[in-house]
Amino acid sequence: MTDESTTGRLPSPQKPRSGRPADDRNRAARTAPSTRAGWRAAAGLIALSAVPMIAGAVRLTELAGGAAITPENARFFAAPLPVVLHIVGVSLYSVLGAFQFAAGFRRRRPGWHRAAGRVLVPAGLVAALSGLWMTLFYPLPAGDGDLLSAIRLVFGSAMALAIVLGLAAIRRRDVARHRAWMIRGYAIGLGAGTQVLTHVPWFLVLGTPGEFPRAMLMAAGWVINLAVAEWVIRRRPVIRSVSPAGPAGASAGGLAGR
């Protein structure tokens, strides 16, 4: 029986173990918090859009069920197509757009971003353009005025422009600009949810707002969303372009970055 003490040979060095399992564990530990944060962001955005979507569903039910015509809804019965397009477009845009902020979901389903984008772009444009049509051609409801109409025209046009610029940017494979413009467009599209929040304190303290306060409260919802959007855009910069080899690389930029 021999050993190192009798043979004089040193034990053979062991081969270093691959660091891959540890690397995988470390990577999983790093990505888990961002994945959870992405899901929380998506859930929060859907929750923010819940009240406007419920109100839209009620409006569609009224139109489909032949509800009694009142001064508040007469304009919708007179021309139902624009409001139907607006409600459907905004609802699709709000829900599908929220999932673009779930980075972990997008990583597991790399084709999701592009497939959803083919729905999001037309849905967003339908929402914006139908909103502009209603502002221009529907009679003003009680409590609205020319100032609020002008504000709606500004933000509705900005939403449509942001979506078009985002689409043009990704066709040039400019991921950073695509991401920035799509986030801005989504922020404007989600304005109705934030406007619920800007109105609630006023209602609780002062009651129904007058024409000017209502215009300011509506504008505040869009401004708040755009301020948050700019913070998100600048928080995590992404590469400015992708290689010609892959539109799939463009999908990694997304609405929420990588």
Each residue's pLDDT, cut to its tens digit, for the chain (258 residues) gives 444 444 444 445 554 454 455 444 544 444 455 567 778 888 999 999 999 999 999 999 999 987 888 888 899 999 999 999 999 999 999 999 998 888 777 777 778 888 888 999 999 999 999 999 999 999 998 889 999 999 999 999 999 999 999 999 999 999 999 999 999 999 999 999 999 999 999 999 999 999 999 999 999 999 999 999 999 999 865 544 444 433 333 333 344 333
- pLDDT the model gives residue 42: 86
Task: Show me where the domains of the chain are located.
Answer: 35-253
Report CA dihedral (3, 5, 9, 11) to the nearest 10 degrees.
60
- pLDDT the model gives residue 238: 52
For the question of whether the overall pTM of this predicted structure is more than 0.75, the answer is yes
Q: What's the one-letter identity of residue 194?
A: T
Under 8 Å CB-to-CB from 201, ≥6 apart: which residues? Answer: none
Cβ distance 191 to 221 under 8 Å?
Answer: yes
Under 8 Å CB-to-CB from 27, ≥6 apart: which residues? Answer: none
| Burial (CB count within 10 angstroms: exposed 0-12, middle 13-18, buried 19+), residue 184 | buried
User: Per-residue b/e over 92-108, b at no fewer than 16 CB within 10 Å?
Assistant: bbbbbbbbbbbbebbbe
- pLDDT the model gives residue 236: 66
DSSP-assigned letters across all residues of 209-250? --HHHHHHHHHHHHHHHHHHHHHHHHHS---S---TT-HHHH
